Chain A
């Protein structure tokens, strides 16, 4: 094609316009980052100082991480809840996905319809009874309760079921002929074949759990159990006007996800594109 040999002006122009537009999406994050390095008095100077005059990087972050509202604790809580939820959710979802796609039993269709029906129930419509239930069985105000709530999302089942359906039935049948039971087939053949899909789902589940605001808000009460999102909000209402500190907290909350995203970018984007899934 002739287009490749000469400089493509139109493509360059579109790129420039799109770049200008993308600033709209990145600038709030840049502002967040810059503000977290500033002295409080410089936060609202106008025109905006994109390079702080007086750096308070160490002081601000130290205050946030080990101050009155120690973020290291909430970090740990978020990591714990995030990893546990992701692990359990992956196990439960892939088991169910295998059961619904590779085991032929009569009730399968009806049971799957039950699972599908629960997907249509908006999470908030069940909050009140869940809350009452949790109060009565002692799961309220505990990480375990939060992990359980997050682990039984049927989304993973749908997503992984799609992938299991792509595994050829012959693999399963020939393993059966060799005398393998379903659990062995699942563990030795099914699961390894869909591992990339499980990894994608795991990243997404971790992001959603990390960002979850509603469940920790409702199912946790004690300060020391707070996850980052809730801690972030309490910190904001407590430190009121200290925007530099609030922004240091915000950067701390976003950074791990940003790293997870940059590392797993391809699978995150592919996963979302494939399933069109939404937390």
Chain B
């Protein structure tokens, strides 16, 4: 009995002709595997179907509707591509998209800082553990708490940052998040501050996989630190950089917490981004159809980046 099962399940003599009896047994075993497989994956599968797949289809359907949530199901009017046409003429939406695109700049900035910090921490400092934790603190901290602290630190008239700037000679420091010209930049700065820890940790892990002999060979050739960084570390980390760049770009399209807590998209729309605009349209103005069309655009942006990533990966990454 045991031996038969072993023959059926274990070795799988692929090249040998299979006697009919074993093949039937194999068939029922395969059925058993299929049932077990479905049982194992079904909780997750049912969950994502109801919570993600169904909703994303609904988002696309609703993006063709003019519907105010309070009007009930009868209030739905189907209006084709009207929502998307209005989006193109909606200055607030266009500004949000523009802000999203500007915000992309923060990604290469924090990647650059992270890779330099990772390089230094990995090799050139004492107390590695301390530095990992210190730079990582913002990432694990509650975003609302962090946002509130920065709100206070950036306070225009008596906040510590401006007091300090005044002492060192800036008589008219910027009003930061209260000033339409500086608000977005302020948020970008905070975002850089939060993101460095995470990216640095991933880079440090990437550094472990660079063969030591590359550096030893460079030492023998008399290469300096900068040359080693530029010629070995940077190119060898390009898969990590690429990965972080893509996830970083996608995450800028999802930024919500920081805006919701610090600026609510203001002053005068200067920090509104797509997700904030979506939230505002859906949950403040209750324009479900219109908000869904914003969701659809957001989804398409992320999809394009993902597809573009597959295309670019081969050309750009130095394995």
* A interface residues with partner B (beta carbon < 8 Å): 10-12, 14-15, 18, 21-22, 24-26, 28-29, 31-32, 44, 46-48, 91-93, 95-96, 98-100, 103-108, 111, 114-115, 118, 120-133, 148-149, 151-152, 154, 157, 173-174, 176-177, 179, 181-183, 186, 207, 210-211, 213-214, 217-218, 228-229, 232-233, 236, 243, 246-247, 249-251, 253-254, 257-258, 261-262, 265, 268-269, 272-274, 276, 278
16 contacts between A and B (CB under 8 A): A32-B149, A44-B158, A99-B38, A100-B40, A103-B40, A105-B33, A127-B278, A130-B55, A133-B55, A152-B48, A152-B52, A179-B5, A181-B36, A213-B260, A268-B140, A276-B240
Q: Which residues of B contact A (CB under 8 A)?
A: 2, 5-6, 9-10, 30, 33-34, 36-41, 43-45, 47-56, 58-59, 62, 69, 117, 120-121, 124-127, 130-138, 140-146, 148-150, 152-153, 155, 158-160, 163, 167, 193, 196-198, 201-202, 204-205, 240, 243-244, 247, 250-251, 253-254, 256-257, 260-261, 275, 278-279, 282-283, 288, 291-292, 295-296, 298-299, 302-303, 306
Q: Which of A15, A114, A254 contacts B127 (CB 8 A)?
A: A15
Residues of chain B with a CB closer than 8 A to A131's CB = 282-283
Q: Is the CB of B278 within 8 A of A25?
A: no
Given known contacts A44-B158, A129-B62, A253-B145, A213 and B44 CB-to-CB distance under 8 angstroms? no
Once bound together, how far apart are the Cα atoms of A273 and B318, in whole Å? 20
Whether B142 pairs with A257 at a CB distance below 8 angstroms is: yes
Q: Are A28 and B149 in contact (CB under 8 A)?
A: yes
Q: Which residues of A contact B261 (CB under 8 A)?
A: 213, 233
A14-B124 contact given A118-B48, A124-B278, CB 8 Å threshold: yes
Q: Count A/B pairs, Cβ under 8 Å.
A: 286
A176 to chain B, nearest CB (A): 5
Q: Which residues of A contact B152 (CB under 8 A)?
A: 243, 246-247
Expressed in whole angstroms, the Cα–Cα distance for A98 and B44 within the complex equals 12
Residue from B44, B137, B197, B306 in contact with A95 in the complex, judged by beta carbons closer than 8 Å = B44
Chain B residues with Cβ under 8 A from A278's Cβ? 198, 247, 251
B243–A173 CB distance below 8 A: no
Interface pair A250/B299, CB less than 8 Å apart: no
B47 in contact with A152 (CB, 8 Å): yes
Q: Which of chain A's residues has its CB closest to B142's CB?
A: A253
Q: Knowing A105-B37, A114-B53, A177-B5, say if A128 contacts B44 (CB, 8 Å).
A: no
A125–B44 CB distance below 8 A: no
Pick the contact of A125 from B56, B125, B283 — CB < 8 Å? B56
Smallest CB gap from B130: residue in A: A22
Instruction: Judge whether B33 and A128 touch: CB under 8 Å.
Output: no
Judging by beta carbons under 8 Å apart, are B142 and A103 in contact?
no
> Which 5 residue pairs are nearest across A and B when measured between Cβ atoms?
A99-B40, A273-B205, A152-B47, A105-B37, A129-B55
Say which residue of B9, B10, B125, B137 sits within 8 Å of A26 (CB atoms): B137
Task: Report chain B residues within 8 Å CB of A126.
Answer: 51-52, 55-56, 59, 295
Do A151 and B37 form a contact, CB below 8 Å, given A122-B298, A122-B299, A232-B144?
no
Give Cα A176 to B32, complex, Å: 12
- Please name all residues of chain A whose beta carbon is closer than 8 Å to the beta carbon of B148 when the two chains form the complex: 232, 236, 246-247, 250
Residue of A with least CB distance to B276: A124
A34–chain B nearest beta-carbon distance, Å: 11
> What residues on B are CB-neighbors of A214 within 8 Å?
256-257, 260
Which residue of B has the minimal Cβ distance to A35?
Answer: B152
In angstroms, Cα B148 to Cα A243, docked, is 9
